[in-house]
Structure 1
Amino acid sequence: MKRIKIIDVPLYETDPNVIADHLTDFLKAVRKSKFQNVTSEANDSYAGFDDIDVFGDESSDSVELSYSDKRRITAKANKLSKRRVAAAGVSHLKSEEYDRLKPSVGSMQIVMAKDLNWADEIAAELHSHMPWMGRATEYAWHALQRSAQRGEPVLKASADERTNPA
C-alpha cells in the first residue's frame, strides 16, 4: 500500500518525565563506565590483589545519583521538552491537541477511489452531513472522480481542472 506524509512534524519525545529517565540512564551508564575504567587501572597497578575485581564489580552495578544530579536532570529535561515542542512548530497547541496529532505524524495509508460509483457515494454522504459546504463537497466529488478515472490518489486540482471538472 502507498503511504503519504500528512503533517510535517518531527517525532521528538516531548514528555519531560521520559526525557528525564533517558538522561538518568545515560548519566548512570557514563559514571559506571568511568568507574569500571578506574577499577581496571587500579587492578593493573595492584596486580596481586583479587579484592579489587570483586569491589569493582559489586560497586559498578548500582550507581546512585545525588539530589543535585536529579534536580539538574529534571531542569534539563523540562528545558529540552519545551525546545523540542518549539522546534516541531506545534508550541501553540495544547498537549491534548498535540497528542491527538501524533497518530498522523508519521505517514498515512492512501485510500484510492475504487470507481466512479464509490466517488459519487462518498460525495453524497459528505453533502448529506454538511449541506452548507456545497462548494467544498462538490470539489471533493470532482477530485474523487478524477482519482477513480486515473487510478491515482486524490490530489489538489490544477486551475484547468477546477474550471472544467472531470
Structure 2
Amino acid sequence: MSKIKFIEAEFHNADKDRRAIRQRLERFLKTRRALERGIVPPDPEDRDDRLRWETELMQIGLGREGQDRVDRRVGRLVERRAAAAGLSHLKLDDRRALEVLRNGVELIRIRTEHQADEIAAGIHSGMPWMAPATDLLWKLMRRSVRNGDAGFRLPPVLLDGPPGIGKSIWARQLGTALGVPRCGVEATAEQASFGIVGTQGGWSNAQPGRPLLTILKHLIANPVVVVNEAAEAGVATSTKGNCFGLTEGLLSLLEPSSAASWQCHYY
C-alpha cells in the first residue's frame, strides 16, 4: 500500500503553536531590550559567552506592557495560522473527525499481473455468468500493474442486466477480493444526492456523504462505491425550488478533473 495526502488542510496543535510563538516573541523582545541596555551579544564560537548571554536574557523582565504586547501578537498569529490551515470554519467535533487524515490515507494497489489473474479467477469461479464485468475488471487490473499505478482505479462501471442475476453480489465480492472497504447507496430509497456528496451544514440532519464516511472510517482512499438501481433514482426538490438529484451529485465525482478537487458539502 502507498499513502497519499487526502485533504487540502494543515493540522496544527494550537496549544503547541501558541507556546512556540510566545517563546519566540518573548525572546525577540528580551533580546531587543538587552541590546538597548548595552549588553554585548555573545560570540557564537564561545560556549561560555553564549551561556552568559542566556543568563542575561533570563534576568530581563518584560513587564505588564510587554506581556500584553506579546499576548496580543500571539493571539493574532494563532488566529491567522488557523484560518490558513483551512479548518477554522468547522466545529470542534468536526475538526476532530478529520484529524484521522493528518498523516494521509492508504491506497490499495494491484502489485502484479499474477495477483490480477487470481482476483479475476476467484470472482469468475463464483459467478461465471458475470464474465463480461469480470473480464473488464481483469483487463483494468493488469493495465494498472503495467502502468505502475500507486493505487487501483476502477473507472465508473454500469452493470446492466435483469433483476436477480447478482449485480450487487458481484460488487460486494469485488470489494472483498480487492481488500478494500465497500459502501452502498440505494438510489430508490435516497432520491437525492445527499447519500453521495453529503448535506450542507445548515440542514438539521446534515452529515458527510457515505463514500467520505467510509474513507474516514477505514483510512483507505479507494473504496468500492456501489449505487444500486441508479436508473430509478428520482430528484428531490426543496421548497425554494432547488433540485438535488443523484445524477448531479455523481457527475462531480465521475469526471476526473472535478473529482480531483472535489469539496465535501458538509465539511
With the length of structure 2 as denominator, give the TM-score of the two structures: 0.36
- 2:4 corresponds to: 4
Q: Distance in 2 between matches of 1:156 and 1:26?
A: 50
Q: Which amino acid aligns with 1:104?
A: L
Answer with 1 or 2: which has the greater Rg: 1
- 1:73 corresponds to: 70
Task: Give the gaps of 5 or more residues in structure 2.
Answer: 42-51, 124-136, 161-173, 175-267
Q: Indicate which of 134, 147, 162 corresponds to 2:157.
A: 162
Task: Give the gaps of 5 or more residues in structure 1.
Answer: 42-54, 121-143
Deviation at 1:6, TM superposition (A): 0.7
- SS, match of residue 6 in structure 1: coil
Q: Distance in 2 between matches of 1:32 and 1:6?
A: 42
Could you say which structure has the greater relative contact order, defined with CA pairs below 8 angstroms and 6 or more residues apart? 1
Alignment of 1:4-153 (within 5 A): 4-11=4-11, 13=12, 15=14, 17-34=15-32, 35=34, 38-40=38-40, 58-112=55-109, 116=119, 148-149=141-142, 150-151=144-145, 152=149, 153=151
- 2:262 corresponds to: none
**Contact 1:14–1:82 (Cα < 8 Å) also in 2:** no
Alignment identity in percent? 17
Q: Distance in 2 between matches of 1:78 and 1:57?
A: 26
Q: Distance in 1 between matches of 2:60 and 2:140?
A: 60
Which structure features the higher share of helix residues? 1
Q: Distance in 2 between matches of 1:64 and 1:147?
A: 68
- Shift in CA distance, 148/30, structure 1 to aligned 2, threshold 3 Å: same
**Contact 2:4–2:104 (Cα < 8 Å) also in 1:** yes
Q: CA-atom RMSD, angstroms?
A: 4.1
- Shift in CA distance, 61/109, structure 1 to aligned 2, threshold 3 Å: same
**Contact 1:14–1:81 (Cα < 8 Å) also in 2:** no
Number of residue pairs matched by the alignment: 127
Deviation at 1:57, TM superposition (A): 6.7
Measured against aligned partners, the alpha-carbon deviations of 1:43-101 in whole angstroms (never above 9, x if no partner) come to xxxxxxxxxxxx97743333333223333333333333333333233233112321332
Q: Distance in 1 between matches of 2:54 and 2:82?
A: 41
Q: Distance in 2 between matches of 1:76 and 1:39?
A: 26
Which structure features the higher share of strand residues? 2
